[in-house]
């Protein structure tokens, strides 16, 4: 059985961590496959939203520490030769793809798993889900985007409190802090995630992808630079078949049928 399941249905790609006996900790092969699957979904024009979740009672409990301790983990990949390269690592790929992503948190997300969850565009948490910023309790730091993502999501002071203490947050605490979009009953998690994904997928995919791209770029641009780039993104959308369909559907008071063209 694959350690990472992948399926596409109704314009939605679902990636499922499938090591429930190991709390869905990430093995070396899973790192490469996760990046490859995210890129595959992003390039598949039939895919308009991506859901990431886990089998069993954990979303992802972090990196496989048994591999780390035996000398086959991240810390040994090219480090001695100065060749450590994260351009194809899952958190970087997750940040750079244009397809909207939803983390469906079926249980605990700790360490690397927490960073992956924060890297998704949206998060829906089961009532039993938790985010565990346990890095400093393990003698490391958030190595996969957490130090960039957390302050932007909750502000500097609250991010400092969570990260410096290594705190574990319940689903309710995550909702109160704005770290998750919804908290639902455990049995309703995937239905809620798919409902949100279908709502995203019903819109013009070129426009959704452009919107995500511009939101990402806005993090490092001045306002004047940004509106210039937005205008450049808008021009090809005006020439798209989906733009004409959207306008026609609005005038005819019907639901649009977008094709991504």
Residue 123 has pLDDT above 90, yes or no: yes
pLDDT at residue number 83: 54
Greater confidence (95 vs 143) lies with 95
Counting other chains too, the contacts that 214-218 makes at CB distance below 8 Å and 24 or more residues apart are: 216/95, 216/96
Cβ neighbours around 220 below 10 Å, total: 8
β-pair partners for 170: 130
* Mean pLDDT calculated for residue range 166-178: 96
Within this chain, do residues 82 and 14 fall inside the same structural domain, yes or no? Answer: yes
Tens-digit pLDDT profile for residues 182-237:
999 999 999 999 999 999 999 999 999 999 999 999 988 999 999 999 999 999 99
Structural domain count of the chain: 2
63, 115 in Cβ contact below 8 A? no
Within this chain, do residues 119 and 171 fall inside the same structural domain, yes or no? Answer: yes
What is the b/e burial string over 90-123, where b = at least 16 CB atoms within 10 angstroms of the residue's CB?
bbbbbbebebbbbbbbbbbbbbbbbbbbbbbbbb
Asked if the structure places residue 258 within a domain, the reply is no
* Mean pLDDT calculated for residue range 243-261: 92
Within this chain, do residues 95 and 192 fall inside the same structural domain, yes or no? Answer: yes
pLDDT at residue number 80: 45
Give the chain's end-to-end CA distance (angstroms, integer).
37
Residue 231: give the domain boundaries. Answer: 205-252
Asked if the structure places residue 115 within a domain, the reply is yes
pLDDT at residue number 62: 87
* Mean pLDDT calculated for residue range 117-128: 97
Cβ neighbours around 172 below 10 Å, total: 12
In degrees, rounded to 5, the angle at the alpha carbon of residue 67 between the alpha carbons of residues 66 and 68 is 90
Tens-digit pLDDT profile for residues 132-168:
998 888 888 887 888 999 999 999 999 999 999 999 9
pLDDT at residue number 136: 84
pLDDT at residue number 95: 94
- Closest by CA to 114, choosing from 142, 86, 154, is 142
Tens-digit pLDDT profile for residues 37-86:
999 999 999 999 999 999 999 999 988 877 555 554 554 444 444 555 67
Within this chain, do residues 153 and 213 fall inside the same structural domain, yes or no? Answer: no
Residue 179 has pLDDT above 70, yes or no: yes
Within this chain, do residues 210 and 98 fall inside the same structural domain, yes or no? Answer: no
pLDDT at residue number 68: 52
Please name the residue that has the structure tokens 């959207």: 246
Within this chain, do residues 247 and 173 fall inside the same structural domain, yes or no? Answer: no
* Mean pLDDT calculated for residue range 75-102: 75
Within this chain, do residues 87 and 215 fall inside the same structural domain, yes or no? Answer: no
Q: What DSSP element (H or E) covers 33? A: helix 28-43
In degrees, rounded to 5, the angle at the alpha carbon of residue 19 between the alpha carbons of residues 181 and 2 is 105
Residue 241 has pLDDT above 50, yes or no: yes
* Encoded tokens for 79: 């480090």
Q: What would you report as the CA-atom Rg of the chain, rounded to the nearest whole angstrom?
A: 19
Within this chain, do residues 130 and 153 fall inside the same structural domain, yes or no? Answer: yes
* Mean pLDDT calculated for residue range 4-9: 97
**pTM metric for this prediction:** 0.90
47, 13 in Cβ contact below 8 A? yes
CA 110 remoteness from chain centre: 15
């Amino acid at each position: 059985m694959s350690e990472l399941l992948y399926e596409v249905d109704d314009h939605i790609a679902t990636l499922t961590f499938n090591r429930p006996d190991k709390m869905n900790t990430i093995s070396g092969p899973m790192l490469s496959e996760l990046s490859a699957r995210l890129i595959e979904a992003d390039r598949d024009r039939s895919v308009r939203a991506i859901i990431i979740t886990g089998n069993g009672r954990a979303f992802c409990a972090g990196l496989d520490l048994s591999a780390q301790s035996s000398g086959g983990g991240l810390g040994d990949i090219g480090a001695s030769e100065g060749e450590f390269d994260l351009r194809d690592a899952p958190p970087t790929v997750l940040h750079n793809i244009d397809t909207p992503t939803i983390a469906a948190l079926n249980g605990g997300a700790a360490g690397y798993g927490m960073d992956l969850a924060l890297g998704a565009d949206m998060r829906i948490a089961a009532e039993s889900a938790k985010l565990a910023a346990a890095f400093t309790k393990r003698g490391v730091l958030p190595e996969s985007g957490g130090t960039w993502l957390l302050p932007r999501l909750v502000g500097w002071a609250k991010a400092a409190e969570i990260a410096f203490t290594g705190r574990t947050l319940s689903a309710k605490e995550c909702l109160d802090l704005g770290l998750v979009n919804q908290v639902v009953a455990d049995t309703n998690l995937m239905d809620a995630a798919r409902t949100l994904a279908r709502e995203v997928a019903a819109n013009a995919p070129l426009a959704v992808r452009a919107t995500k791209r511009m939101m990402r770029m806005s993090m490092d641009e001045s306002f004047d630079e940004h509106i210039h780039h937005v205008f450049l993104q808008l021009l090809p959308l005006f020439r798209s078949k989906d733009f004409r369909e959207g306008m026609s559907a609005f005038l005819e008071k019907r639901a649009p049928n977008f094709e991504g063209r």
